[in-house]
């Protein structure tokens, strides 16, 4: 096997030790997978200089930065693949500068992430998890035991980031009779919903905010105290994008002070660590960055990563190119 491997294109892993499971057996046979496992990438490379000098592709993962530093360590690198929709862990301009291609998950997770966003919004609004918890503590039940729930139908929902996921969230929520508006970098000519040029204005005019935008220097901490106060005491924030879009300590403060009504969070500022103060709040529903982790999508991303690698090493166009 080691001898066979020598002739296979080398792919280095840069992520959690289990990342290599994202390459299905059928695809992994076609590559020489180099897995530093629990070692930090730079440490592994420094002790395997020769092996790594001919690595052409990297499979990386959110939370594991691919910056100029990592790229310098791999002089032959020409492709970075991430099994994620977000690419904020990759220094794209440095990749561009070095002529390194990047492939992502394309729209593979859009439906799941949109489903999750809607699920979190209904859950917080109608108090589904809270009622489940409450019921399991006391039976017979009486409505007076249960937290106050609210209607979803007719609610005004502001979507931050009107890309593929934002569009899918809007489409689903319209079927619930919600009224949609949005904010994004620019007004989108093909999007029919009302546009607000700032997140504060969007919050002022809506009952809920759903965050579906990319994280970058412009969007970091875009949901600050001012936005939360504009959203108001019954307002709900759903985040299925990136934790750092929200000033998390302010969110906690506003939730505890009753300045906003509730939150549904799939992402956190210090993932995979979650601030345990969230656990005490009955009006918060937490999800472990699971927007992409349905069984079907896991199979799908494994295939997609393999197909991008196959395409790259056959000099064909990437299936889901980022750059």
- What are the residues binding a second copy (CB under 8 A)? 16, 18, 111-112, 115-116, 118-120, 122-123, 126-129, 131-136, 139-146, 148-154, 171-172, 174-177, 271-274, 276, 279, 285-290, 293-297
* Residue closer to a second copy, measured from CB, 219 or 297: 297
289 catalytic? Reply is yes
Tell me the residue length of the chain.
323
* Residue closer to a second copy, measured from CB, 24 or 149: 149
242 catalytic? Reply is yes
Nearest CA among 17, 7, 9 for reference residue 44: 17
* Residue closer to a second copy, measured from CB, 122 or 311: 122
* Residue closer to a second copy, measured from CB, 65 or 300: 300
* Residue closer to a second copy, measured from CB, 50 or 192: 192
Say if residues 70 and 42 touch (Cβ distance below 8 Å): yes
Q: Which two tokens stand for residue 14?
A: 């840069």
25 burial class (0-12, 13-18, 19+ CB within 10 angstroms)? exposed
185 catalytic? Reply is no
> Distance between CA 310 and CA 102 in Å, rounded?
14
**Active-site residue (options: 201, 226, 271, 310):** 271
In angstroms and rounded to an integer, the radius of gyration of the C-alpha atoms of the chain is 22
**Active-site residue (options: 89, 127, 242, 247):** 242
Q: How far is the CB of 56 from a second copy (least distance, A)?
A: 28
Q: Which residues pair with 176 in a beta bridge?
A: none
Q: Which two tokens stand for residue 68?
A: 């100029």
> Distance between CA 212 and CA 293 in Å, rounded?
17
Say if residues 198 and 206 touch (Cβ distance below 8 Å): no
Catalogue the active-site residues: 242, 271, 289
């Amino acid at each position: 096997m080691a001898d066979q491997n020598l002739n296979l294109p080398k792919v280095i892993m840069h992520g959690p030790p289990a990342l290599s499971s994202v390459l299905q057996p059928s695809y992994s046979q076609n590559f020489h997978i180099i897995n530093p496992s629990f070692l930090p990438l730079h440490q592994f490379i420094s002790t395997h200089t020769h092996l790594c000098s001919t690595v052409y592709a990297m499979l990386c993962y959110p939370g594991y930065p691919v910056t100029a530093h990592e790229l310098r360590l791999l002089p032959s690198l020409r492709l970075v693949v991430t099994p994620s929709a977000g690419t904020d862990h990759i220094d794209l301009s440095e990749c561009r500068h070095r002529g390194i291609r990047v492939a992502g998950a394309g729209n593979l997770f859009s439906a799941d992430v949109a489903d999750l966003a809607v699920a979190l919004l209904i859950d917080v609004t109608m108090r589904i998890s809270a009622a489940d918890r409450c019921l399991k503590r006391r039976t017979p039940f009486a409505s007076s035991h249960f937290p106050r729930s609210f209607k979803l139908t007719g609610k005004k929902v502001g979507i931050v980031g009107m890309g593929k996921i934002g569009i899918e969230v809007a489409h689903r929520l319209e079927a619930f009779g919600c009224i949609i508006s949005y904010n994004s970098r620019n007004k989108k000519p093909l999007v029919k919903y009302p546009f607000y040029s700032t997140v504060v204005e969007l919050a002022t005019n809506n009952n809920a905010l759903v965050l579906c935008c990319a994280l970058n220097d412009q969007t970091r901490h875009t949901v600050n105290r001012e936005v939360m106060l504009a959203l108001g005491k019954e307002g709900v924030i759903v985040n299925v994008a990136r934790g750092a879009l929200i000033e998390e300590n302010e969110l906690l403060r506003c939730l505890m002070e009753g300045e906003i009504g509730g939150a549904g969070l799939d992402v956190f500022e210090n993932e995979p660590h979650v601030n345990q103060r969230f656990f005490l709040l009955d009006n918060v529903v937490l999800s472990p960055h699971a927007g992409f982790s349905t069984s079907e999508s896991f199979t799908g991303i494994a295939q997609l990563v393999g197909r991008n690698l196959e395409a790259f090493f056959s000099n064909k166009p990437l299936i889901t190119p980022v750059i």
